[in-house]
Amino acid sequence: MLRPGVLHEEALDDMERGLESLAVLRPELLREADVFNPMQSYWTMYKGLLPGITRVIFFEYATQFACMGMAREKDLPVVEEFYADLEKLREYITIPKPLRTDEYDPRSDIYLYLIRNPLKEEMEGEYVQRLLEIEGLKVYEHAG
């Protein structure tokens, strides 16, 4: 929460100066991604309502696509739609359906979600292509 009289931009600038490794990516610093580099993190927006971060995570036993984000209570049906869209990609994953974790923070009235898909190694490229084709999903990368 911002103190009264503090502008949003001032608070973001203060955060960037105070935390050496923090960078706030404003819209002018983002561009829509047309490829997916597993060594980078991406900012996502689903149907204009669910902001999130996505990344490919490498484990010894599997490569996983992970998407984490937040939603307001009234947007929970959209989280269900997003999960259903990712579940349609089950032919590319090693388990019957995506792994999902949800948590509600009553102090902020925000739901946090994490959806993970362990990928079949030989199908990773096809999974990414299908992911980028999900209707309503925008994937952004740093433009700099």
pLDDT for 22 equals 62
pLDDT for 2 beyond 60: no
- Please indicate, yes or no, if residue 18 is contained in any of the structural domains: no
Q: Helix, strand, or coil here: 123? A: helix
Instruction: Give the model confidence (pLDDT) of 26-69 as tens digits.
Output: 777 789 988 777 778 899 999 998 899 998 887 777 788 899 99
Whole-model pTM: value is 0.79
- Please indicate, yes or no, if residue 62 is contained in any of the structural domains: yes
Contacts made by residues 108-111, CB under 8 angstroms, sequence distance 24+? 109/72, 109/73, 110/70, 110/71, 110/72, 111/70, 111/71, 111/72, 111/73, 111/76, 111/79
- Please indicate, yes or no, if residue 1 is contained in any of the structural domains: no
- Please indicate, yes or no, if residue 89 is contained in any of the structural domains: yes
- Please indicate, yes or no, if residue 49 is contained in any of the structural domains: yes
- Please indicate, yes or no, if residue 105 is contained in any of the structural domains: yes
Nearest to 129 by CA among 67, 30, 32, 36: 36
- Please indicate, yes or no, if residue 58 is contained in any of the structural domains: yes
Percentage of the chain with pLDDT > 70? 84
**Pairwise pLDDT comparison (118 vs 19), residue with the higher score:** 118
**Pairwise pLDDT comparison (43 vs 17), residue with the higher score:** 43
pLDDT for 116 beyond 70: yes
Structural domain boundaries, residue 72? 27-142
pLDDT for 109 equals 86
- Please indicate, yes or no, if residue 126 is contained in any of the structural domains: yes
Q: What is the domain count for the chain?
A: 1
